[in-house]
Amino acid sequence: MTENGGWPHHSDPTIEDVAAAAEVSIRTVSRVLNKSPKVNALTRRRVEDEIARLNFKPSTRARALAMGRSFLIGLIHNDRNALVLDSIQRSVSAETARRGYELITHSTPSETAEAITDVLAFVERSRVDGLVVLPPVSGIRGLPEALLASGVRAVALSSVPIDGFLDVVISEERVAGAHVARYLMDLGHRQLGIINGPVDVASANERRAGFVGEALRAGAHVSEAAGDYGFASGVAAAEVLLSQAPRPTGVFAANDIMAAGLLKVAANRGIAVPEELSVVGFDGSLLTQMLTPALTSVLRPSGDMAAAAAICLIARIEGEQTPPPFDAGMQVVVAESTGPAPG
């Protein structure tokens, strides 16, 4: 300490400095930093005042060692959609940083046996305090049970309920698919088409079930083509659908990337969008604004959902009350790629 009571600029204050200034033990300062109830209010206030006055920044590593935690959160995914993943990472990082945690992102294979082994190995290496698990990884059979057996706290995102996770943030994608069908039929479309996602992914099956079920109940005709959420599969599926006679006048692509492939094929064939063909995507990603015409899409709040999952996870880790279930309400955001049915 200098003569005027400050601290030399060349040396940051330590926990020992705080203890000396507050006239308490180092253990008491540690308890205040870790929010222990074993410190009385008067002492806690005195320590906190000295922490503020000295501008003391506790070492994350020391804090972790003292509490037996890493203060790391793992984000597990197998998502090729960089735009959606970027939104998720930014939202989760903001939430973890606010609570004093760091985020580690880990991509895992989608095969069941490999994925479970890979995730458990990641947890062992990184020593994360918990996981946020994104689809389609969250839907891998046996994963939540394996994590539970290993004592790993995990919260998942999914389009359907899943047993075994501490919490699951659910997006009602079957309902959203039905909304798309109803939207297109309200525009007068009765010849509908759908480019499906991977058959082994719950989100793709939910979107298809909602769209096809609603369309058939209303007496519309639906043509289907297979996709895998990738751009090339959207192009291939579009070639199939737009070669039919009569061809669909309204098509739902199960994600924005495949919808981009559909728009490309329509442009190459000279099919005017939306005058001859209406196109709807899914995700509401930044891609919708990059395309010409701008893409009508279902806005799925992936970033907000992932942030909600992180909030639940940290509450579990900290022994706090978990927040109420997140309402991932989804809506069709209308843009330039949809219009009234031709004729």
Which pLDDT value is given to residue 10? Answer: 45
Mean local confidence (pLDDT), 44-50: 91
Confidence of residue 143 (pLDDT cuts 50, 70, 90): very high
Beta pairing partners, 253: 195
Q: Decide the pairing of beta strands 296-299 and 331-333.
A: antiparallel
Which among 84, 82, 77 is positioned nearest to 104, based on CA atoms?
Answer: 77
CA distance 294 to 337: 6
Which pLDDT value is given to residue 4? Answer: 46
Confidence of residue 11 (pLDDT cuts 50, 70, 90): low
Question: Is 187 in the same domain as 282?
Answer: yes
* Window from 65-69, 243-247, 314-318 with minimum mean pLDDT: 65-69
Residue 285 C-beta-side C-alpha neighbours within 13 Å:
21
Q: Is the pLDDT of residue 173 over 50?
A: yes
- Three-state SS for 75-119 is EEECCCCHHHHHHHHHHHHHHHHHCCCEEEEEECCCCHHHHHHHH
Residue 341 placed within a domain: no
Question: Is 203 in the same domain as 268?
Answer: yes
Question: Is 61 in the same domain as 86?
Answer: no
Which pLDDT value is given to residue 98? Answer: 86
**Residues 175 and 151 sit within 8 Å (Cβ to Cβ):** no
Which pLDDT value is given to residue 152? Answer: 92
Question: Is 85 in the same domain as 103?
Answer: yes
Question: Is 289 in the same domain as 204?
Answer: yes
Mean local confidence (pLDDT), 204-209: 97
Residue 113 C-beta-side C-alpha neighbours within 13 Å:
0
Confidence of residue 59 (pLDDT cuts 50, 70, 90): low
Question: Is 29 in the same domain as 82?
Answer: no
Residue 75 placed within a domain: yes
- Give the alpha-carbon dihedral of 147, 152, 135, 203, to 10 degrees: 60
Average per-residue pLDDT in the chain?
Answer: 90
What CATH number did the domain enclosing 178 receive? 3.40.50.2300
CB atoms closer than 10 angstroms to residue 1:
12
Q: pLDDT tens-digit profile of 289-307?
A: 999 999 999 999 999 999 9
CA distance 270 to 107: 39
Question: Is 144 in the same domain as 178?
Answer: no
Question: Is 178 in the same domain as 292?
Answer: yes
Which among 273, 256, 259, 267 is positioned nearest to 338, based on CA atoms?
Answer: 273
Residue 235 placed within a domain: yes
User: Which residue matches tokens 């060692």?
Assistant: 65
Which residue did the predictor score with more confidence, 6 or 213? 213
Question: Is 54 in the same domain as 144?
Answer: no
Model's pTM, two decimal places?
Answer: 0.79
Question: Is 162 in the same domain as 95?
Answer: yes
* Window from 46-60, 194-208, 286-300 with minimum mean pLDDT: 46-60
Residue 150 placed within a domain: yes
Residue range of the domain that includes 265 = 173-299
Which pLDDT value is given to residue 55? Answer: 87
Strands (E), the chain: 72-77, 102-107, 130-133, 154-158, 167-170, 191-195, 221-225, 250-253, 278-283, 296-299, 331-333
Mean local confidence (pLDDT), 117-121: 94
Residue 118 placed within a domain: yes
Q: Is the pLDDT of residue 274 over 90?
A: yes
Q: Is the pLDDT of residue 191 over 90?
A: yes
Counted domains in the chain? 3
Q: Is the pLDDT of residue 275 over 90?
A: yes
Residue 3 placed within a domain: no
Q: Is the pLDDT of residue 69 over 70?
A: no
Q: Is the pLDDT of residue 60 over 70?
A: no
Confidence of residue 107 (pLDDT cuts 50, 70, 90): very high
List phi, psi (to 5°) of 52.
-70, -40
Q: pLDDT tens-digit profile of 319-330?
A: 888 888 888 889
Mean local confidence (pLDDT), 251-275: 97
Q: Is the pLDDT of residue 126 over 70?
A: yes
Which pLDDT value is given to residue 46? Answer: 92
Which pLDDT value is given to residue 320? Answer: 86
Count Cβ neighbours within 10 Å for each residue of 122-161 and write b for 16 or more, e otherwise: bbeeeebbbbbbbbbbbbbeebbebbeeeebbbbbbbbbe
